[in-house]
Structure 1
Amino acid sequence: MTITTTTSRLDVIDALRGFAIVSIMLLHNIEHFDFYFAPAGLPVWLKTVDKAIWDSLFFLFGGKSYAIFALLFGVTFYIQYHNRERRGEDFRARFAWRLVLLLAFGLFNSMFYHGDILSIYAVLGLTLIPVARLSNRWVAIIAVVLLLQPYAWWEVFQALPNPDEKLPDPASWAYFGRANDYFAHGSALQVWTGNLTNGKVGVIRWSWENGRIFQIPALFMLGMLAGRKGLFSDPLFWRRALLIAVVLFIPFYALKTWPELLGVGEAVRRPLLVIITSWSNVAFMVVLVSVFVLLFYSLRCLMFFSPLGRMSLTSYVVQSIIGTSIYYGFGLGMYQYTGASFALAIGLVLALVQRQFSVWWLAKHSQGPLESVWHKLTWLGSHARN
């Protein structure tokens, strides 16, 4: 089977992005949008079900859904860059402005959900500008170096003289602890203010502590390479990628799950776990992408996700507004009553509603509402917007 048309490539990217949006929606709901709280008084059987759902969803999507998004971010950059390049134009300055706009969307979204990824993508997306004209080989080398988590390795080497040293809690924990208070008891204004100050700093620190500051640009670059080489039209590549990713994932997951197998002290173990967890998540992300792409060309029902993918910015921001209004204290306060099973049910309903809204909107418009604003502002002052 060989897929060569541009339309097919864009279709699978839209569907995959929509799949990522749904998986993010489900994770955010069982997390109560970063407000971790276990309701009291649940029967034992329901606690067992909740734990099974929690473990299963995090195994499938935790650390992987955002990675799919990052990969596709790089693909989209390549498509936009290449389209302009064919017209003899340089897209890089316009892309920088586009990232400024994305940062604005991200900061607005951060008011509601401090775990927002848009603002981080906006800043780290700048790394694509200096590599846009490099050869495939050099882009791949830079991406691999970033994936290797160089700072975490530096921490490993620093810890070797005293491997059993007791480490303090990660700095991000204090910020998240303070957030729980205003999530539960704060007004909407207090939540929005707290998220933009305390919460945003906590998320940035957490991203640094967990290696995402290196992983995200690497995935951007790999996505750009996938676009250059037309890999989303190459099922043979994804068959090979699936096999390699499964082989790599198994040992990484085993070491992440049973870190005592490393046989090292805490001071060495913590940065090693950052490295191994990062590699494990990337490997399983490739498994998910490979399976999805291979199934997409034989099971057209996966087009079900495409409307959400075409409106991913709108969908992502709206889910933050609605979700925090459902779970936080200033809204319905459902964090007090919903374990993972009930929160999953809420997430599934919201995902279906969002999908139907996307279908309805796209029947009348070529882009989602926020996508349209982003597009118009991106090409402000330009006569060529396509």
Structure 2
Amino acid sequence: MGSQAPRLDVVDALRGFAIVSIMLLHNIEHFDLYYVVPGLPPWLAALDNVVWEVAFFLFGGKSYAIFALLFGLTFHLQSQARKERGEDFRTRYGWRLLILFGFGMLNSMFYHGDILTIYAVIGLCLLPVARLRDWALLALAAILMLQPYEWLVLVDALRQPDAIIGDPDSWQYFGRMNAYLTGDSLLRVWAGNLTNGKLGVILWSWENGRVFQILSLFMLGMLAGRRGLFEAGAHSMRFWRRTLLVATLLFLPLYSIRMLLPDWVASTAVRRPLGVMVASWSNFAFMLVLVACFVLLYQGGALTRALRLLAPLGRMSLTSYFTQSIIGSFIYYGFGLGLYQVTGATVCLLIGAVLAALQCAFCAWWLRRHAQGPLEQLWHRATWIGARQAA
């Protein structure tokens, strides 16, 4: 029931790459249970710091952005598949997002940093813009990427640069407020994550410009689908080569400004909105560097064969994302093994790499026997419940 959008192998592999990078970041963060292990040898503490900095430089703020870009692309592919059959996918897609929200709430019970619920809500904004012309969609995406709310905050701050501002509101929901993660009660973790944790993550996402950037990336993903930028061909390769050059030239000054901003701007009131804007643009530029490199490297050679190993993971991204939350929370939280107390970033990176490899192997094994992952199949069937057309 319901037509399947055509599969693009490079997109599956790229989504798998995002899943792996998210797995690595979540592990070194102890799945948002931040804790510095005391008494480590100086060499290991120094190595932990390097691992942390490098991992977040490479993937922090970029992995979720890749997911958002591909989320918009998938919306276009699914909509186009239905349009070719003379059907409007938008109503069905709204229902699909409601189901995704349900998956996200279940995932949030184990990991309050869940992104599925946020994607599901913001994804509703795609429905009224789905039929805009390319130029209008690009203009709207550009406006959102510029972080319009932060510009308003900046203008107000420039009027009162000496104003004293407190910590971001989201901070009160982390630290001591999520101490339930270290306790031995799974029920308390579920209750805390769905209340304290969920509210904290929503506020954090707003404060860091994620809401506007996610919607912008959804729209850019739609445009990429319309233009066939992930399809093999000379046109798409030219686009990604140019994107790699331009994104690199943009990232270098943006990242430099981001690092130097605390020295350049003394006013906290002014520096905070500037920091949000520059960080979001810097992450966006580097995300494009990663995507362009991935697509270009996927075109042939030994490395392409290695990258293709990620495709099954990408095809089962919902199952993989959900299961890593369950496994990760058991490994690090107090109700499970409680390894947050003894594992620094280096050890956690190794744990994450092993888990990612196991997920890749499991997904490849599963897809040799089934057309979809278990949660993907459930999502697909629930999406098309009541539909008369056969898939």
TM-score, length-normalised on structure 2? 0.95
Pick from 262, 265, 287: which aligns with 1:263? 265
Distance 2:138 2:264 in 1: 29
Moved more, 338-347 or 160-169: 160-169
Distance 1:114 1:260 in 2: 30
Aligned ranges 1:187-202 → 2 under 5 Å: 187-202=185-200
The gaps in structure 2 that reach 5 residues or longer are none
Distance 1:270 1:90 in 2: 43
CA positional deviation for 1:177? 2.2
DSSP-derived class of the 1:107 partner? helix
CA positional deviation for 1:207? 0.4
Distance 1:105 1:209 in 2: 25
CA positional deviation for 1:308? 0.3
Residue equivalent to 2:15: 17
Distance 1:361 1:179 in 2: 39
Aligned ranges 1:131-210 → 2 under 5 Å: 131-210=129-208
> Is 1:382 aligned to 2:387, yes or no?
yes
> Is 1:360 aligned to 2:358, yes or no?
no
Structure 1 contact 33–113 (Cα < 8 Å) conserved: yes
DSSP-derived class of the 1:258 partner? helix
Structure 1 contact 13–72 (Cα < 8 Å) conserved: yes
Distance 2:331 2:390 in 1: 38
Aligned ranges 1:63-82 → 2 under 5 Å: 63-82=61-80
Distance 2:227 2:264 in 1: 38
After superposition, the C-alpha distances for 1:45-83 in whole angstroms (9 at most, x for unaligned) are 001111111000000000000000000000000000000
Aligned ranges 1:293-304 → 2 under 5 Å: 293-298=295-300, 299-304=304-309
Cα distance, 1:385–1:216 mapped onto 2, change above 3 Å = farther
Distance 2:297 2:22 in 1: 20
Residue equivalent to 2:311: 306
DSSP-derived class of the 2:309 partner? helix
Distance 2:61 2:314 in 1: 19
Give percent identity, aligned residues only.
61
CA positional deviation for 1:263? 3.1
Residue equivalent to 1:3: none
Q: CA RMSD in A?
A: 1.2
CA positional deviation for 1:383? 2.3
CA positional deviation for 1:385? 5.0
Aligned ranges 1:176-255 → 2 under 5 Å: 176-233=174-231, 234-255=236-257
> What amino acid is the match of 2:60?
G
The gaps in structure 1 that reach 5 residues or longer are 1-5
Structure 1 contact 255–261 (Cα < 8 Å) conserved: no
CA positional deviation for 1:357? 0.7
Aligned length: 380
Distance 2:152 2:330 in 1: 42
CA positional deviation for 1:166? 2.1
After superposition, the C-alpha distances for 1:264-285 in whole angstroms (9 at most, x for unaligned) are 5110100010000000000000
Residue equivalent to 1:326: 331
After superposition, the C-alpha distances for 1:336-357 in whole angstroms (9 at most, x for unaligned) are 0000010011101100111111
Structure 2 contact 178–197 (Cα < 8 Å) conserved: no
Distance 2:277 2:264 in 1: 13
After superposition, the C-alpha distances for 1:243-301 in whole angstroms (9 at most, x for unaligned) are 01001111111111121354351101000100000000000000000000000112232
